Chains A and B, each alone.
Chain A
Amino acid sequence: MTPFALEPLGDSALLVRLGDGIDPATNRCALALAENLRAAALPGIRDIAPAYASVCVHYDIAALAGAAGAGSPHQRLAEQLGEIAAKFFEAKMAGPDTEAGGESPMLEIPVRYGGEFGPDLGDVAAQAGIDEQAVIERHANGDYRVAMLGFMPGFPYLLGLDESLHTPRRASPRTRVPAGSVAIGGAQTGIYPRELPGGWQLIGRTPLVLFDPTRGQPALLQPGQRVRFRAIDAGGEFAALIR
């Protein structure tokens, strides 16, 4: 069985699919393949973005047009991507595990849990059948990894949420979720980079700025980044970090 499939995503992009679920092994593979494709620097590629179980490759139709009879731009690119992906998986089978980000440093994210900062902490606790303090401990003790960014610039989808904390989205979404809100949506946990509407359960808030286009690295978190949360108090520490 081939470990990947190539699917057209319209006439200007292509998905390299490695799976159709959310699991850490497939995601690590998608991130490593995305790095591999980026390094290949194929002409005509506009963008490469990994997701949970796939890599999206955006391309310039005109730049990939060949002579008559050379096949469509999609066919030409699919051939090249297929070769790179096949080699990637061959090397993966043969050699030691060389997953990208395996040794990446841990980034600690300070979070003020509960109260006005996390109005849904009580609901998450009730759903899990534990008290609020236990939710905080379980959430802050987790070892997370950024699976992908999407929805909004800088919005990270994190893998590694304790199963007991999986909580369905709110029946009616909020029209305004404050920037920095740490939230749970089903099996996923993420952080709102700015004030947005949203249906996830809000358990806390971080003073860190998740996205700033004027920074050298606009997104605080990159795909593959390891993350841990640390509970802070509402007073001095939260305020001090805002500066």
Chain B
Amino acid sequence: MSIRVLSPGWLTSVQDSGRIGYAAIGVGRAGAMDDVALRLANALVGNAENTAALEITLRGPRLRFDADALIALTGAVIDARCATQEIPQWRPVWIPAGGEVDLGSMRRGARSYLAIAGGIDVAPALCSRSTDINAALGPFGGRGLVAGDDVPIGDERLGFPRNALGGRPPGDRAGHDGIAAAHWSLDPQPWFDAHGDKPVALARGNHFEHLDASSRRALFAREFRVGNESNRVGYRLEGGKLRLEAPLELVSEGVVPGTMQLPPNGNPIVLMAEAPTTGGYPRIGMVATVDLPRLAQRRPGDHVRFVETSLADAQTRYLQRERALAALIQTITERLKR
């Protein structure tokens, strides 16, 4: 089975949980920007949570399914239709063979995730199916999808959860050519910041003390704006420049998604999923890993405030979220089996 891309939207790419283990040769992690939305989308169609799915950015693609498929759409609130029917989010939905899924603009957030039972079955590159657009690495030559691409779907869909829709298997839709959606869904509230106004937790970076006094205060007081040049590599933050007390000469060393760098122009950059493995700018802050999905859902022009966190609190919140997520995924899995 495959999905034909009729139009790609603003940027649609294949993403899983990222590429791990190759930092020493300069290969970064890439993977989904909102990893939580990816994992939940996969859980809703019975996939392992790190299975490759589509990451849709700002405006959605138009896709034609050549066979029956079970999908789930999570993350940003997006206009989604199949023919005349609206496709609801955060639940399993059957798409009939030949169905055209039309994903439009996003009303909230910046990234939606479309998981398909069976997963996207492209060849892995360095143990991952994620697209590293900046490094031109991964499926489709390391680029976003374009019109005419055929996205292969894995055969494991044959073992798809029969009861995802409350007991109706796929062939059992007599006289029904449209979609069929489960009558239950997830509450997105804990996993998606619908109003985009929650603060993002930031720990002081190794070079925070080199900021001048007013910049140290401003970092946690100011409202920043997500710059237009922001992408999967980094979020450029505007709204008043930050200054060091004196220039710092640094040698290149490790950076990770969440590292906040201060380049000479004074506008901080938070490195995101496609962070390079090394960097040489002063590291003034570190976004808590647990809040990276929240930041990834802000779009250019949106506002961001940072609240100071300690490293220990950031890790505690991450562990709490992982426990809650694991429990929810367990519940979904049992629900699909019933």
Contact = CB atoms under 8 A, between A and B. Distances in A.
Interface stretch (A107-115, A152-160, A200-208, A234-242): A152-160
Given A11-B289, A11-B318, A20-B251, A49 B23 contact: yes
B308 to A, nearest CB: 14
A59 B226 CA distance: 28
B252 interface: yes
B236 to A, nearest CB: 16
Contacts of A11: 203, 258, 286, 288-289, 311, 314-315, 318
Interface residues of B, number: 41
A153 B319 CA distance: 31
B251 A10 contact: no
A193 to B, nearest CB: 8
B254 interface: yes
A72 B289 contact: no
A9 B25 contact: no
Nearest to A156: B26
Interface string A41-60: 00000111111111110100
Interface string A124-161: 00000000000000000000000011111111010000
B137 A61 contact: no
A73 B318 CA distance: 11
A157 B203 CA distance: 30
Contacts of B318: 11, 61-62
A61 B314 CA distance: 10
A52 B252 contact: yes
B153 to A, nearest CB: 23
A211 B312 CA distance: 38
Contacts of B135: 152-153
Interface in A7-28: 7-13, 15, 17, 20-22
Contacts of A81: none
A182 B254 CA distance: 23
A218 interface: yes
A10 B254 contact: no
Interface in B8-33: 20-27
A54 B251 CA distance: 10
Contact of A12 (B22, B23, B258, B319): B258
Given A17-B253, A154-B26, 19 more contacts: A8-B203, A8-B311, A9-B254, A10-B256, A10-B258, A21-B251, A34-B24, A46-B20, A47-B24, A51-B251, A62-B318, A72-B311, A74-B312, A149-B26, A150-B277, A151-B26, A153-B26, A218-B25, A223-B24
